[in-house]
Amino acid sequence: MSTHVALLRGINVGKAKRIAMADLRKAVEGLGYSDVRTLLNSGNVVFTAGAAKSDHGARIEQAIVAKLGVSSLVTVITAAELDTIIRENPLMQHTGEPSRFLVMVLRDPAAKKLVAPLAKQKWSPDALELGRRVIYVWCAQGLLDSKPAQAAMKLLGDRQTARNWATMMKLRAMVAGE
């Protein structure tokens, strides 16, 4: 048994793609996953899966469409990947303002080659760094005014889903059972 985190893209943002978290939990439980918990109202699910290899993201995407009538891309990371994302953060000095610190989790780690040129640019007062499966972005004036965040999102499109640092830390606490 291993713990995973499912990150749904574009759920409950504005009036589109509305999903009640109780319904989301029920849909994920219906796939045979256990210890299913959600965080916030934006499509963050922690669950336990058996040892068998499976494309958890695709299974959850299909269940959401079938049971809830909503289409959303789902990126799944393991508890170990979440721990690595947090531990290897090269911009840790910016986590004191977690709402301005963004972590873009890639559906496919190879997609980071698309934003590699952005990591070579100077973005001061913002910053952008590449991780193993994520892009770390410090948005000094907030997300909407962040040139590196906007540039990365434009290049990556739906190849990523983003969470702020506060959400990543809450997910880590959930995974740890806190």
The residue extents of the domains of the chain are: 2-80, 84-175
pLDDT at 13: 67
pLDDT at 175: 94
Calculate the dihedral angle through the C-alpha atoms of 160, 161, 165, 171, rounding to the nearest 10 degrees.
-120
pLDDT at 146: 95
pLDDT at 1: 84
pLDDT at 143: 85
The partner residues of 102 in beta bridges, in order of sequence, read 137, 164
Question: From CA 58, how far away is CA 76, in angstroms rounded?
Answer: 9
Mean pLDDT computed over every residue of the chain: 92
Could you tell me if 160 and 98 are in contact, meaning their C-beta atoms sit under 8 angstroms apart?
Answer: no
Question: From CA 26, how far away is CA 161, in angstroms rounded?
Answer: 22
Question: From CA 128, how far away is CA 130, in angstroms rounded?
Answer: 7
| Angle in degrees, CA 141, 142, 143, rounded to 5 | 135
Q: Are 2-80 and 84-175 in the same CATH fold? A: yes
**160-173 pLDDT per residue, tens:** 999 999 999 999 99
pLDDT at 47: 95
**The CATH classification of domain 84-175, taken from the options 3.30.70.1260, 3.40.1080.10, 3.90.1150.10, 3.60.40.10:** 3.30.70.1260
pLDDT at 14: 66
Say which CATH topology domain 2-80 has: Alpha-Beta Plaits (3.30.70)
Positions in the chain whose pLDDT score sits under 50: none
